Structure 1
Amino acid sequence: MKRMLVLENGEVFIGKPLGSTKEQSGEVVFNTSMTGYQEIMTDPSYCDQIITMTYPLIGNYGINRDDFESMIPSIKGMVVKEAANIPSHFRSRLSIDEWLKQHDIPGIQGIDTRKLTKLIRETGTLKGRICDANQDIGNVIYELQSNTFSNDQVSRVSTKSEFINPGTKERVVLIDFGAKKGIIKDLVSKGYEVIVVPYHTPAKKILAMHPDGVLLSNGPGDPTDVPEAVETVKNLLGHVPIFGICLGHQLLALACGAKTGKMKFGHRGANHPVKDIRSGEITITSQNHGYTVLSESLENTSLEITHINVNDETVEGLNHKEVHAFSVQYHPEASPGPEDAKGLFQEFQTMMDEAKKGESIYA
C-alpha cells in the first residue's frame, strides 16, 4: 500500500506508510534536528502540525519511557526519509512506527524530504494531508485550499486544572500554554516549588498564590489568539518577576505594546545560533516557533532587545527596562538540543533575589 502527502499548492509526494493509516491534515513544517525526535513528536508546541524531519534516518534509537515532553501527543503527522524498523538502544521500548500506531498518528516515509524542505523554505509553511495514494488528488487540494485550521491550540494543550510540584526553594507559578516537561523538570531539579496553572488563569488568582516568580511557558500557534493571556501578563508586570519562554516571550512583548508576525517557515531545530548583544556571546539553541516579535514595533515600548538570531537577525531575547521581566524566543531547557542556554534559569533566580530586596510586592 502506498501513501501520499498532498500539499495545498498542488505538490504531491508518494511514499510508504508509517504509523496509523488514518487520513489527517495539518500545517507542514520541518525540523533540522538530527536527534530528539521523541521530544519533538511530544512537544505541545507542534499541536496540529505535520512534522518533516530533515535528517534522513529517524527512529534508530527507538522510543523510550523517559523522554516524552507530554504524555498525549498533539501532532497531526510525521514525514521522514527512512524510519528505522529495528531500533538499537538499551532504553528502547518501541519503534517509531509502533509508537505512532499506538497514538493513531499517521506518517509517511520514503519521500524526498530534502525536496520538501526546500519547497517549504521557498513558499513558506503549507497545509497538507497524509492520505492513501488512491484518493482523488484534486479533491484533496480543493479541501486544503478551502478549509482553515482552528486557532484554539493553546486551550487544547494547556493543563485543565492546577497542580503542584513540591520544593523547598522559591515558589514559581508556571502558566501552561503548552509547557514541555523539560521546563518543569529543570525548575524542580533546582528545588523550586512549581505550581502549574491553566493558560487562562487571571493575574489576581496567580498573585493570591504569593509566587516569587512567574514563568510564561512555550506553546503552539499565534500569540494573538490568546488575548486573555496577554491581559494576564499586563496585570502581572511590576508585581512579580516574569520569565517568558518561546510563546511566553511573544506574550510578554504583546503585553508591553509590541507586535508579532508570522514567519515564512519558522525556526525549528537544535542548531540555531543566537547572539547576546550585551556580551557578544554566541549560544547554540533549540527552537520551535512560527511567529516572531517584530523588532520595529519595540521602539516605543519599555522593552529592549537582548538577543538576536545570527542567521536572520530576528528578535531572540527581551528585557523590560522598568520592572523585573525578561524573555527568550528559544528553549533554555533544550529537550532536545544543546544545553548552552540553561544559565537563563540562574538569571531568573537572580531576578527573584533582586525583587526580594525591594519593597514587598504584596504590600
Structure 2
Amino acid sequence: MSGNEQSNTAALVLEDGRVFRGESFGATGRTLGEVVFCTGMTGYQETLTDPSYHRQIVVATAPQIGNTGWNDEDDESDRIWVAGYVVRDPARMPSNWRSRRSLPEALVSQGVVGIAGVDTRTLTRHIRERGAMRAGVFSGPALADEASMVDQVRSGPQMLGADLAGEVSTGATYRVPAVGERRFRVAALDLGIKSNTPRMLAQRGVETHVLPVSASLDDLLGVEPDGVFLSNGPGDPATTDHAVTLTRSVLERRIPLFGICFGNQVLGRALGRGTYKLRYGHRGINIPVIDTATGRVAITAQNHGFALEGEPGERFGTPFGVATVSHYCPNDGCVEGVRALEVPAFGVQYHPEAAAGPHDAAALFDEFLGLMENHDA
C-alpha cells in the first residue's frame, strides 16, 4: 500500500471486535464514543450540532450525505458535538444556495474524525442485533493493528452512568427575547438545549432565560418565570440528581413545567420513575408516537438512548399527586411522555422543535403556553 493510500484509509472498530474499513472522512486521527445510528434522511447539520449527540459516533443510514453542504443558519449549537461520523457515500460536491462550505470542510475545521465508504446497512443491522456499544474511528497515524485498536475502544468510557449535561450546558445565563410583544417569561434549564427551542418559544411571544445546568433554585426563581422548561441533553439521566431536585422544587411551587427528551426523563425521575438504557435507542425524524388519551399518532424527531420505566396509559402515584404515562412508541412500547394530573407539568421524549424533522408535535409548545395562561388566570 502506498503512503497516499495509507493516509486515506480509516477503520471503524467496535468493542465486540467487528471492524469496518473505509476512507478517512473529515479530520484524521482517533476518536472514541458510543456508536449509534440515525435514520433521518435529511438534517445532518442539525444532527451533528445537537449537544445530545455528545460522545457518540453517529452512523447515517441515509446512503448519501453532504449534498446540501454546510450553511451558517442551521446549527443547533455553536459547534459540532458528535464524537465521530460514519457515512456510506459522501457527496462529491455540495449544491444548495445556502451552502457556504462542504461537509468535509466543516468536519476538518472542527477536528471531527469520520469514515466514509462503509456498508452502513450491514453496520446498522449489526447495532440493532448487538446493541449500541463503544467504538472508535481510526485514520492516518492513529491506525494500528486490530487487536490494539479494539483494546483502545474497550478502555473508553461507557454511556451507562455518563454524566454529560454539564459538559454541554451554557456557562452563564443568557436571554432570548420574544418576537413582538412579550407574553410570558420562561426559565430554561440547559441540559444540552438546541437553538430552535427558544426560537420557537420566541415566535409565540415567550422570553426565554437559558440557565446553566448548575443553576440553583434561587437562580431560577430570580428570573421570575411564568414557566420552566427542561431541555434535551446527553448522557445517562440517572446522573441528574441536581436537576431532579430542582424540578421537584418547581413542582412543589406549581410553576408550569415542560420537558423534552432528556428533560422528560428528569421530570419522570422527579415524579418517582426509574430509567433504563435502550438496546439501540431512537434516533431519527420518522418515529411514530401514540397519545394514550386520544389515540392520535404523531411522526416525531427523536434522539435518546435511555427511557423511563412504565407502561402505556399507566397511572401512578407521585409526591405531587397522580401522574400518567401519556405517550408511547408503538414500535417497542417505549414511554414517550409523562403528565402530572394535579400539578401543571408534562414532558415528551421526542423533539417538538423538529429541526430537522416533522412538525406534528409543534403544538406542544402551545400547550405549554396554555398551562402558563391558566396559571396566571
Sort the TM-score into its range (normalised by shorter chain).
over 0.9
SS of aligned partner of 2:266: helix
8 A Cα contact 1:85 1:95, kept in partner:
no
8 A Cα contact 2:163 2:236, kept in partner:
no
Q: 2:328 aligns with which of 308, 316, 332?
A: 308
Counterpart in the other structure of 1:356: 376
Query: Using the alignment, how far apart are the partners of 1:291 and 1:149 within structure 2?
Result: 13
Counterpart in the other structure of 2:219: 205
SS of aligned partner of 1:138: helix
Matched, 1:174 2:188: yes
SS of aligned partner of 2:354: coil
CA shift digits 1:54-81 (9 cap, x unpaired) = 0100010111110000112221110000
TM-score scaled by structure 1? 0.96
Counterpart in the other structure of 1:154: 165
Query: Using the alignment, how far apart are the partners of 1:203 and 1:311 within structure 2?
Result: 38
Matched, 1:103 2:114: no
Counterpart in the other structure of 1:336: 356
Distance 1:5 1:298, change over 3 A: farther
CA shift digits 1:26-49 (9 cap, x unpaired) = 100000000000000000000000
User: Which consecutive residues of structure 2, in runs of 5 or more, have no partner in the other structure?
Assistant: 1-7
Read off the aligned partner of 1:137 and give its amino acid letter.
Answer: E
Alignment of 1:39-78 (within 5 A): 39-78=46-85
Counterpart in the other structure of 1:292: 307
Query: Using the alignment, how far apart are the partners of 1:26 and 1:279 within structure 2?
Result: 39
* Deviates most, 182-191 or 294-303: 294-303
* Deviates most, 236-245 or 37-46: 236-245
Query: Using the alignment, how far apart are the partners of 1:224 and 1:237 within structure 2?
Result: 19
Q: 2:95 aligns with which of 88, 98, 101?
A: 88
CA shift digits 1:274-310 (9 cap, x unpaired) = 1111111110000000000010697443320111112
Cα deviation for residue 218 of structure 1 reads 0.3
CA shift digits 1:138-190 (9 cap, x unpaired) = 01112222332482321110000001122312001111000000101101111
Identity rate of aligned residues, in percent? 42
Cα deviation for residue 268 of structure 1 reads 0.1
Query: Using the alignment, how far apart are the partners of 1:157 and 1:33 within structure 2?
Result: 23
Matched, 1:4 2:24: no
Query: Using the alignment, how far apart are the partners of 1:308 and 1:175 within structure 2?
Result: 25
Matched, 1:164 2:175: yes
Cα deviation for residue 9 of structure 1 reads 0.3
* Deviates most, 288-297 or 80-89: 288-297
Cα deviation for residue 317 of structure 1 reads 1.2
8 A Cα contact 2:174 2:211, kept in partner:
yes
TM-score scaled by structure 2? 0.92
Counterpart in the other structure of 2:145: 136
Q: Which runs of 4+ in 1 moved over 6 A?
A: none
Read off the aligned partner of 2:177 and give its amino acid letter.
Answer: P
Q: 2:260 aligns with which of 245, 264, 286?
A: 245
Query: Using the alignment, how far apart are the partners of 2:240 and 2:149 within structure 1?
Result: 30
Query: Using the alignment, how far apart are the partners of 1:342 and 1:147 within structure 2?
Result: 38
Q: 2:345 aligns with which of 307, 317, 325?
A: 325
Query: Using the alignment, how far apart are the partners of 1:244 and 1:147 within structure 2?
Result: 31
Query: Using the alignment, how far apart are the partners of 1:245 and 1:335 within structure 2?
Result: 14
SS of aligned partner of 1:323: coil
Counterpart in the other structure of 1:28: 35
8 A Cα contact 1:317 1:328, kept in partner:
yes
Q: How many residues align?
A: 357
Query: Using the alignment, how far apart are the partners of 2:55 and 2:47 within structure 1?
Result: 13
Counterpart in the other structure of 1:360: none
* Deviates most, 205-214 or 47-56: 205-214
Query: Using the alignment, how far apart are the partners of 1:59 and 1:143 within structure 2?
Result: 30
SS of aligned partner of 2:215: coil
SS of aligned partner of 2:71: coil
Query: Using the alignment, how far apart are the partners of 2:43 and 2:133 within structure 1?
Result: 24
User: Which consecutive residues of structure 1, in runs of 5 or more, have no partner in the other structure?
Assistant: 358-363
Query: Using the alignment, how far apart are the partners of 1:110 and 1:42 within structure 2?
Result: 22
RMSD over aligned CA atoms reads: 1.4
Distance 1:107 1:166, change over 3 A: same
Query: Using the alignment, how far apart are the partners of 1:166 and 1:12 within structure 2?
Result: 49
Query: Using the alignment, how far apart are the partners of 1:126 and 1:290 within structure 2?
Result: 11
Read off the aligned partner of 2:144 and give its amino acid letter.
Answer: Q
Q: 1:270 aligns with which of 285, 301, 306?
A: 285
